[in-house]
Copies of this chain bind each other. A is one copy, B any other.
């Protein structure tokens, strides 16, 4: 892999990430991406095969590593509040260290089911849901009153986290550890009671 190859490839990935996050997958043309990256279309199609393959590569190379972090954060250690705090912090950290990717993936979360971009992101969204559901499954062995509501808890928590991050983001700030702690406290108290 030569230097220029890596440069062009990463330049395309970086510009595509920016443009997708700003204007949406459907709102950005291939020509716009390659122009921003300073290359031409065949270069993009050589490296990624298609516009769809570009988005798939973007998610695979930049979102998958974070999913591993989320998975270990959600590992059950008999401390539900601690687990939830780690999970929430993983999301906050993704939003802070990679805001563009976070916004892209969040914007596609509730996207139209038939849209190509939504179908591409769907596996990543489902994996997150599965990780959270697994956490609440394990926790319900210790807290019997949670039985039967694991999926609901997982959805509530994810919706809460993302909404809070989006609110902070629109205000131009980031959630700090105290904000996260408060949010998880509120969520946990509601479960225990």
Contacts and interface: CB of A to CB of B under 8 A. Distances in A.
Interface string A5-43: 000000000000000111110110000000000000000
Contacts of A53: none
B167 A160 contact: no
Contacts of A103: 112
A151 to B, nearest CB: 6
Nearest to A156: B160
A115 B164 contact: no
Q: Copies per complex? A: 2
Nearest to A113: B22
Nearest to A159: B163
A158 B110 CA distance: 14
A38 to B, nearest CB: 21
Nearest to A26: B26
A174 B23 CA distance: 32
A27 B115 contact: yes
Contacts of A185: 190, 193
Given A190-B187, A193-B193, A23 B112 contact: yes
Contacts of A156: 160, 163-164, 183, 186
Given A186-B191, A189-B193, A193-B193, A22 B159 contact: no
A107 to B, nearest CB: 5
Nearest to A112: B24
12 contacts: A23-B115, A24-B26, A27-B115, A103-B112, A110-B166, A152-B164, A155-B164, A156-B183, A159-B161, A186-B187, A190-B190, A193-B193
